[in-house]
Structure 1
């Protein structure tokens, strides 16, 4: 195995371990040593690959441009598609959302979370919307989606959690769509 392959492999193993631990224990409850132990590597290798625990957290939980929301495709159907993406178990939005909420008061993470919110959710939506209130509607859309995630995974609303995902996509997606392409 080449040196480049070993480096990429160790980076991937560290990222996987970090994602799992941050999701299970939160930011404060996870140390670089914990991540290194889970990945079976030396803690210095974690820092070599990711610079800091904070940067590792941000990278593995999707707060980079590589993890922007899928805002492409027809604007007329974007609301339901975004809700479907948020509920897709393959995307692990739940784990990332919970870890981010738990870490939002950690030094540096809260401000980066706000920046990512603006860059990865609000700005791409605002760029797609028309009208002088496009920026406001993009922020309201972000708040609407955040409200669903809060109800599902922070409050643990059992009625919502037991609702078929496609029902949530249809109904909540329609609410979101009204913000994106208002009929009035």
Structure 2
């Protein structure tokens, strides 16, 4: 698949917004990162707010369907820990980080709920109780993501992966179990 100029611009903008926040990024910054003119960035996206909106996408949670109910906490923690330790993207953390600097924080919150909370709520059976359990589990996962990725807690050499998944997974499981 070929990368279009728009895809390149959005990818560079996404990285810059995640690193610097909305206020810390200009159209010129994105143009320089993508090695295109600011006019071309504007042609493809229209405005800085539109650029942020298009670039602030969230990767969904891994598919939850095949995971047994009593292993869901460990699965979610394991996926998060593996992403952090591989140095890859941490979708939950990205979603949380993008809310504060967003020009329209409520839109980013809504997207976060659509991509992360709603699938978990559905998996947990729907309704207010499932929403409360999903929100609690996502909050715990975000705490782990912040601690591990940003503060350097629970890293390799500090805590074994399987021990972390066992202990933290049990805590998350306790939050989502009815």
TM-score (norm 1): 0.74
129 and 10 in structure 1: CA distance in 2 versus 1, 3 angstrom threshold: same
Structure 2 Cα separation of the partners of residues 135 and 102 of structure 1:
22
Query: Which structure 2 segments of 5+ residues have no match?
Result: none
Matches within 5 A, 1:16-165: 16-63=11-58, 67-70=59-62, 71-76=64-69, 77-87=71-81, 88=83, 89=86, 91-93=88-90, 97=93, 100-101=96-97, 104-108=100-104, 110-130=105-125, 133-154=129-150, 156=151, 158-161=152-155, 162-165=158-161
Conserved in 2, the CA contact under 8 Å of 1:26 and 1:99? no
Conserved in 2, the CA contact under 8 Å of 1:26 and 1:103? no
1:14 aligns with 2:19: no
Aligned to 1:160, the other structure's residue is in SS state coil
Match among 161, 179, 184 for residue 175 of structure 2:
179
Structure 1 Cα separation of the partners of residues 21 and 161 of structure 2:
26
Q: Which runs of 4+ in 1 moved over 6 A?
A: none
Q: How many residues align?
A: 170
Query: Which structure 1 segments of 5+ residues have no match?
Result: none
What's the CA shift for 1:131?
7.5
**CA RMSD between the two structures:** 2.9
Larger helix proportion, structure 1 or 2? 1
159 and 74 in structure 1: CA distance in 2 versus 1, 3 angstrom threshold: closer
What's the CA shift for 1:120?
1.3
Conserved in 2, the CA contact under 8 Å of 1:21 and 1:35? yes
